Amino acid sequence: MRLIVGLGNPGAEYARNRHNIGFMAVDAIAHRHDFPAWRVRNSGLAAEGEIGGERVMLLKPQTYMNKSGACVGPVARFFKIAPADVIVIHDELDLAPGKVRVKTGGGVAGHNGLRSLAELFSNDTQRVRLGIGHPGDKDRVHGYVLGDFSKAEQTGWLEPLLDALAEAAPLLVKGDANGFATKVALLTQPPKPRKGEAAPAT
């Protein structure tokens, strides 16, 4: 079984925060692949289903971001899921909005959710880093990540990105990280102008 964890904070007041893009991603995957309703499991919300013929559990820790490992560790150990089979989806300040990178392990770069996972579970999970951009000043980071996506961000790149992640999820589950990242990039490319039309302004 694969475990796909979306990182975020529980509660309606955080639901549209940039920091909660991990929750948004697993919600999109659950919807696209017809997972059953979420249910409480060890301080988290979990749903089990199939993606591309593979058994998958989706998990949204309800412990708040900085205690994510307290939820993920016990769930993974109970189901005997090795760190190599755990995929963590999280926000990434150091990537441009809408960009996606996949890596295994590495530093936590000040991300409290990753730090908690490293301390209470493992640092050897696969990570899907979803770019949210940087506010430009480290003193503004806290308010930025806990701020809501703007309407322009939602329609401009967030919704297309979430759709692409859900569509490409079978490649991720099968271990084809490069194929997954490539497919997401292709699906989120702006449409090419038709002959005789000007390219859209950027």
Q: What are the helix and strand counts (H, E) for the chain?
A: 7, 7
Coil, strand or helix: which one is 51? strand
pLDDT tens readout for residues 116-165 = 999 999 999 999 999 999 999 999 999 999 999 999 999 999 999 999 99
Can you give the pLDDT at residue 197? 61
- Bridge-partner residues for 45, per DSSP? 40, 60
pLDDT tens readout for residues 27-76 = 999 999 999 999 999 899 999 999 999 999 999 999 999 999 999 999 99
Residue 192 has pLDDT above 80, yes or no: no
Residue 18 has pLDDT above 90, yes or no: yes
- Positive or negative: CA dihedral 100, 158, 165, 22: positive
- Quick check: is 31 catalytic? no
Can you give the pLDDT at residue 106? 86
Can you give the pLDDT at residue 4? 98
Q: Which residue of the set 19, 33, 90, 111 is catalytic? A: 19
pLDDT tens readout for residues 164-183 = 999 999 999 999 999 999 99
29: which DSSP letter? H
CATH architecture entry for 2-187: 3-Layer(aba) Sandwich (3.40)
**What is the model's pTM?**
0.93
On whether the CB atoms of residues 60 and 38 are closer than 8 A, the answer is yes
Burial (0-12, 13-18, 19+ Cβ within 10 Å), 176: middle
pLDDT tens readout for residues 106-119 = 888 789 999 999 99
Can you give the pLDDT at residue 109? 79
Hey, what's the torsion of the CAs at 177, 21, 131, 29, to 10 degrees?
A: 30
Can you give the pLDDT at residue 107? 85
Burial (0-12, 13-18, 19+ Cβ within 10 Å), 196: exposed
Can you give the pLDDT at residue 199? 59
**Selection from 10, 124, 2 nearest residue 57 by Cα:** 2
Can you give the pLDDT at residue 176? 96
Can you give the pLDDT at residue 202? 52
Can you give the pLDDT at residue 113? 96
Q: Lowest-pLDDT range, 19-23, 30-34, 187-191?
A: 187-191
**Selection from 143, 40, 145 nearest residue 90 by Cα:** 145
Can you give the pLDDT at residue 110? 85
